[in-house]
C-alpha cells in the first residue's frame, strides 16, 4: 500500500472521527452506465451508488437493518474478471488504486459539500460498470460504510453480471409496477452492499412510466377517437398539459410553442371533423404570445388558448399579460384558465401535513380548485375586463366553486371601503364554465341558476375522467331538451366558432 494511500487513509479516518463527534453528514453518490438519448431517457438510465444509508432519527423511516431483513437475499458470485477485490486478493495494484480513489473522494467531501459523483459517458462499453462496482466494493471495506448500487442502464444491464446476481426483478420491473421496492433490492454478499439490478430489458425506458392514463394523453389518433365513439362524443378540443410553456424563458419558449402548436395542428388535421385545439403560448414574452395566439387562430384554425395557473411566478392577472387578453378580445376567442399546482409555499403551508396520505388534496381534490378560483377572482379585481370588456374566459370543473360563491363574494365586495365593482356582473358576463370532471346535478343546477344555461359547456376532463360516465350522467340531468342541446353542443359552437 503506497504512502500516499496511507496518508489519505489516515486523513479520511480522522475526518470520519470528527464527523462522528459533530454529527455532520458524509455522503456521496457514484453513478455508472448512462446511454446518450433524450433528457427523459438519461434521467432513467443513470445507475447510482449511494453511500451511508444512515439510521434515521425519524421513527417513521425505515431503518437500514429493517431494509436488510425485508429485501431479497440471492446467492451472489462475484466475477473475478470484473472485480479487483476478488480472485486476486485485496492487495493487488487495482484494489490499491480504488482505495486511493475512495479516499480522495472522501477528502474532497471534507473540503466542499460533495453531493453526487457521476461515473458516466455518452458511449457504451467504456468501463463505467467496472468503475462503479469496484468503487462500491472499495467503499464497503471501510467500517460503517453502506452502499446501494443501482443499475439503471435499462436497455443493456450489466452490473448484475459483475456481482453474479440475478437480473431481476429489478428497476424496470419496479417502474412498471410489477414488483415492490423490497422485491427488487438484493443483498447477497455483504450486509453493507445492496443492489438493484436493471430488470427486464426495455428499448425505450420512458415507456415504463406510461400507464394507461399517459398512453391516452399522448394518443392523438385511433385510441382517442375510439373512446370518443364509444361514449358518443363528436368533437374534442385538445390542449397541452400544465404548465405548458409557463416556466420556460422567452428565448426557448417562443420557438418551442410555435413547434408544438404546429405539431398539434398536424394531429387535428388528420381528424378535422373530430378534433379541435387550444394554443399553447410563450407567456414569458406576452407580445410574442399574443402574436402566436393570432397565428394559431387565423392560420391554424385554433379555437383559443389555454393558460395554466401561475406563469413565471406571477398570477395571470398581472398587467404584463394583458397584451394576450387584448389580442384574444380582438380575435373573439376565449382564454381557458386551467389548474396547475399551487405555489410551493402554499403547498407547504396548507397541505404538507396531509400530502403523504392524501396526495390528491393538493391537486384535483382541492389545491387545483383554490388556485384557479383565486386566479379568476384576481382577474376580476385587476380591471382587465374594464380594459377589455369583450374578453371571454373559460373555467373548468363547473367554475371551480365560484358559481356557488357569487352572491357572497359580490355582497362582501360591495361593503363600504371597497373600490366600486360588481363582481357578479363581471363574472357572469365574461366567464363561461364547463362540466369537466364535475358530474353533479346539484352543482350543475346551481351554476345554471347563477350564470344561465348559455354559459355552461359540456366537457369531460379525459383521460383523467373517463368519457362514458360523463355522457351517461347527461341522461340524468334535470334540464329540458332545448337546454341540453345548448349544454352539449350549442354553446360550444357559438363560443368557439365551430
Give catalytic residue positions: 461
CA 20 remoteness from chain centre:
38
CB 417 within 8 A of CB 395: no
71 closest CA partner among 193, 233, 208, 238 = 193
N- to C-terminal Cα distance for the chain? Answer: 80
Q: Is the peptide bond before 169 cis (omega within 30 degrees of 0)?
A: yes
Please tell me the distance from the alpha carbon of residue 340 to that of residue 346, in angstroms, as a whole number.
13
CA geometry: angle at 436 spanning 176 and 439, to 5°? 100
Please tell me the distance from the alpha carbon of residue 307 to that of residue 336, in angstroms, as a whole number.
6
Residues 6+ apart with CB under 8 A from 152: 33, 44, 45, 46, 47, 48, 171, 198
Grid cell 369537466 is found at 436
Residues, the chain, total?
498
Parallel/antiparallel/unpaired status of strands 48-51 and 147-150:
antiparallel
Please tell me the distance from the alpha carbon of residue 303 to that of residue 297, in angstroms, as a whole number.
6
Q: Output the CA–CA distances (angstroms, integers) from residue 493 to 467, 485, 488, in the order listed.
A: 20, 11, 10
Q: What is the DSSP letter of 398?
A: G
Q: What is the DSSP letter of 62?
A: P
Please tell me the distance from the alpha carbon of residue 467 to that of residue 233, in angstroms, as a whole number.
8
CA 196 remoteness from chain centre:
24
The three three-digit cell numbers of residue 299, written as one number: 392560420
Q: Output the CA–CA distances (angstroms, integers) from residue 326 to 106, 188, 275, 304, 329, in the order listed.
A: 59, 66, 26, 13, 5
Helix (H, G, I), strand (E, B) or coil at 276: strand
Residues 6+ apart with CB under 8 A from 229: none
* Beta-carbon count within 10 A of 336 CB: 22
Q: Which residues of 56-65 are buried (b: 16+ CB within 10 A; e: fewer)?
A: eeeeeeeebe
Cross-strand bridge partners of residue 193:
147
CA 374 remoteness from chain centre:
22
Amino acid at each position: 500500500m503506497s504512502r500516499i494511500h496511507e496518508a489519505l487513509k489516515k486523513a479520511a479516518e480522522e475526518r470520519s472521527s470528527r464527523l462522528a463527534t459533530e454529527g455532520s453528514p458524509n455522503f456521496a453518490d457514484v453513478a455508472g452506465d448512462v446511454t446518450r438519448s433524450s433528457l427523459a431517457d438519461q434521467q432513467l438510465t443513470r445507475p447510482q451508488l449511494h453511500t451511508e444509508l444512515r439510521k434515521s432519527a425519524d421513527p417513521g423511516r425505515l431503518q437500514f437493518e429493517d431494509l436488510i431483513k425485508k429485501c431479497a437475499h440471492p446467492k451472489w458470485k462475484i466475477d473475478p474478471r470484473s472485480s479487483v477485490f476478488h480472485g486476486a486478493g485485496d492487495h493487488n495494484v487495482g484494489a490499491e488504486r480504488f482505495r486511493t480513489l475512495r479516499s480522495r473522494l472522501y477528502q474532497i467531501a471534507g473540503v466542499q459539500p460533495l453531493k453526487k459523483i457521476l461515473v458516466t459517458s455518452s458511449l457504451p462499453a467504456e468501463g463505467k460498470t467496472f468503475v462503479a462496482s469496484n468503487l462500491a466494493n472499495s467503499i464497503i471495506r471501510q467500517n460503517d460504510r453502506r452502499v446501494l448500487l443501482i443499475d439503471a442502464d435499462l436497455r443493456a444491464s450489466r452490473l448484475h453480471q459483475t456481482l453474479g446476481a440475478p437480473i431481476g426483478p429489478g428497476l424496470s420491473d419496479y417502474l412498471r409496477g410489477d414488483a415492490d421496492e423490497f422485491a427488487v433490492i438484493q443483498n447477497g454478499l455483504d450486509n453493507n452492499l445492496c443492489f438493484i439490478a436493471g430488470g427486464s430489458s426495455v428499448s425505450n425506458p420512458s415507456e415504463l412510466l406510461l400507464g394507461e392514463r399517459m398512453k391516452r394523453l399522448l394518443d392523438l389518433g385511433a385510441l382517442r377517437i375510439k373512446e370518443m365513439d364509444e361514449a358518443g362524443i363528436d368533437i374534442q378540443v385538445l390542449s397541452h398539459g400544465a404548465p405548458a410553456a409557463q416556466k420556460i424563458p422567452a428565448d426557448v419558449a417562443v420557438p418551442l410553442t410555435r413547434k408544438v402548436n404546429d405539431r398539434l395542428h398536424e394531429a387535428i388535421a388528420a381528424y378535422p371533423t373530430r378534433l379541435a385545439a387550444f394554443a399553447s403560448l410563450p407567456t414569458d414574452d406576452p407580445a410574442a404570445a399574443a402574436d402566436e395566439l393570432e397565428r394559431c387562430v387565423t392560420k391554424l384554425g385554433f379555437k383559443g388558448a389555454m393558460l395554466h395557473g401561475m406563469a413565471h411566478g406571477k398570477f395571470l392577472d398581472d398587467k404584463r399579460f394583458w397584451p394576450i387578453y387584448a389580442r384574444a378580445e380582438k380575435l373573439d376567442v376565449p382564454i381557458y384558465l386551467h389548474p396547475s399546482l399551487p405555489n410551493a409555499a402554499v403547498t407547504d403551508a396548507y397541505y404538507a401535513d396531509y400530502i403523504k396520505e392524501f396526495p390528491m388534496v393538493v391537486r384535483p381534490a382541492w389545491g387545483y380548485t383554490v388556485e384557479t378560483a383565486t386566479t379568476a377572482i384576481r382577474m376580476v379585481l385587476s380591471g382587465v375586463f374594464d380594459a377589455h370588456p369583450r374578453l371571454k374566459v373559460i373555467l373548468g370543473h363547473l367554475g371551480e366553486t365560484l358559481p356557488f360563491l357569487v352572491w357572497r363574494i359580490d355582497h362582501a365586495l360591495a361593503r363600504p371601503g371597497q373600490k366600486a365593482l360588481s363582481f357578479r356582473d363581471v363574472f357572469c358576463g365574461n366567464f363561461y364554465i364547463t362540466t369537466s370532471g364535475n358530474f353533479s346535478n346539484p352543482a350543475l343546477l346551481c351554476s345554471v341558476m347563477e350564470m344561465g344555461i348559455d354559459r355552461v359547456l359540456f366537457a369531460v376532463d379525459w383521460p383523467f375522467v373517463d368519457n362514458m360516465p360523463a355522457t351517461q350522467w347527461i341522461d340524468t340531468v334535470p334540464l329540458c331538451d332545448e337546454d341540453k342541446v345548448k349544454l352539449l353542443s350549442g354553446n360550444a359552437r357559438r363560443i368557439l366558432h365551430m
